[in-house]
A and B are shown apart, each in its own frame.
Chain A
Amino acid sequence: MSAETEPVKAIVTPTRLEYEFTAAGTHADFLARIAEGKLLGSRCSECGMVYVPARGSCPRCGVAIEERCDVSDKGTVTTYCVVRVPSENIDLKLPYVCAHILLDGANIPFFALIQECEAEDVRIGMRVEAVWAPKEEWGATFENIRYFRPSGEKDVPVEQLGDWV
């Protein structure tokens, strides 16, 4: 025992809980499809919105969604964030940019990392494309897509992005 006579001021309480997550329903459908190199969306029959990743119910209408459709792995930046603060579990060179990307065919943006350009070059309206991991490394995981990079296409004017900006 230490010779310390100071009264106890604090205790450390470790917590550990173990789970076996089951991805089921549309989550599983999305993962099965990304393992094939495709991004699966789902289309609400009532409002027509296409959600990606695919989800089993429409958050607007509160109804089940049956229809599935692939969406493109190319899209447009609708907003972005330049991160200059290091984070314990993130092994990226600072600054890095994460963005909301409205994939072609989808009605809600997809959250992803942008690389292969300077942070100050990222802008709303910028066209980007997914950079996939080598096919032999694919699994049922988001990690199949390493990041998005500028595609070189002409920017989409901000006015055309409508509600998504």
Chain B
Amino acid sequence: MSDSSGGASFTASHVLEYDYRRSVGPVLGRFFTALREKRLVGIRAADGRVLVPPAEADPNTGAALDEFVDVGPGGSVASWAWVHQPRPVHPLDRPFAYALVRLDGADTGLLHLVDAGEEARMSTGMRVTPRWRAERSGAIGDIECFVPEDAK
């Protein structure tokens, strides 16, 4: 059955593209509003840990959370992955790291980028600080990326 086509095949490019406008609610709303003001906030969980990004509900108990805590702006890299060959989908067009950044005052890692220049500059535990965008809209991208603290 399958070979009766004589091997003909056709290819066509297809782009699936859409924007969604998503309401953020009060917890993420507070996080994004702070980002627009160049501030970072986390939320206190039932066991006292400070979660960043803030969660609407406690990951262990499911209880609603509402105690916001200022965190950062600097932090340390808890884990990282060096992207040698960025593709158009990546936010930077030069090699960079994705990293989990444990901001000062937070107990969990915030996923973001680190623009360290070269892989040798990256290490678990290194200190990083945010590079803010000049134009901010209240979104995770208001931080363009993190950079090594001593590079600033």
Direct contact of A and B (CB under 8 A): yes
Most buried by B among A22, A24, A68: A24
Q: Taking the complex as formed, is B14 at the interface, i.e. its CB lies under 8 A from any CB of chain A? A: yes
Query: How far, in angstroms, from A137 to B134 measured CA to CA in the complex?
Result: 50
Given contacts A8-B32, A11-B32, is CB(A28)–CB(B19) below 8 Å? no
Contact B21 A10 (CB under 8 A): yes
Count, chain A residues at interface, CB 8 A? 32
The answer, yes or no, to whether A65 is at the interface (CB within 8 Å) is yes
Per-residue A-contact encoding for B11-26, CB less than 8 Å = 1, 0 else: 1111111111111100
Chain B nearest CB from A41 CB (Å) reads: 14
Q: From A12-20, A84-92, A109-117, A125-133, give the one contacting chain B.
A: A12-20
A17 near B1: Cβ-Cβ < 8 Å: no
- A23 adjacent to B10 (CB under 8 Å): yes
In the complex, A26 Cα to B13 Cα: how many Å? 19
With contacts A7-B33, A28-B9 known, what are 17 further pairs, Cβ within 8 A?
A1-B36, A7-B30, A8-B139, A9-B24, A9-B29, A11-B22, A11-B24, A13-B20, A17-B15, A17-B16, A18-B13, A18-B16, A19-B16, A20-B14, A21-B14, A28-B5, A29-B8
Which B residues have a C-beta under 8 Å from some C-beta of A?
Answer: 1-2, 4-6, 8-24, 29-30, 32-33, 36, 89, 134-139
Closest A residue to B1 by beta carbon equals A64
A68 CB → nearest B CB, Å: 8
Interface members, chain A 16-42 (any B CB < 8 Å): 16-29, 31-32
The smallest C-beta distance from A150 to any residue of chain B, in angstroms, reads 32
CB neighbours (8 Å) of A17 from chain B are 15-17
Residue from A20, A29, A64 in contact with B11 in the complex, judged by beta carbons closer than 8 Å: A20
Q: List 18 A-B contacts (CB under 8 A).
A: A7-B29, A8-B138, A11-B24, A11-B138, A11-B139, A12-B22, A15-B18, A15-B19, A16-B16, A16-B17, A16-B89, A19-B14, A20-B12, A21-B13, A23-B10, A28-B9, A32-B8, A140-B10
On chain A, the residues within 8 Å of B135 by CB distance are 1
Nearest CB on B from A13, distance (A): 5
Flag if A14 contacts B24 (CB, 8 Å): no
Q: Cα distance A27–B8 when bound, in Å?
A: 9
Q: A1-B136, A8-B138, A65-B1 are in contact. Are A21 and B11 (CB under 8 A)?
A: yes
Could you tell me if A15 and B10 are in contact, using CB atoms closer than 8 angstroms? no
- Tell me if A56 is interfacial: C-beta within 8 Å of chain B: yes
Q: List A contacts of B17 (CB < 8 A).
A: 14-17
**Residue A104 lies at the interface, judged by CB distance under 8 Å to chain B:** no
* A15 and B17 alpha carbons, distance in the complex (Å): 5
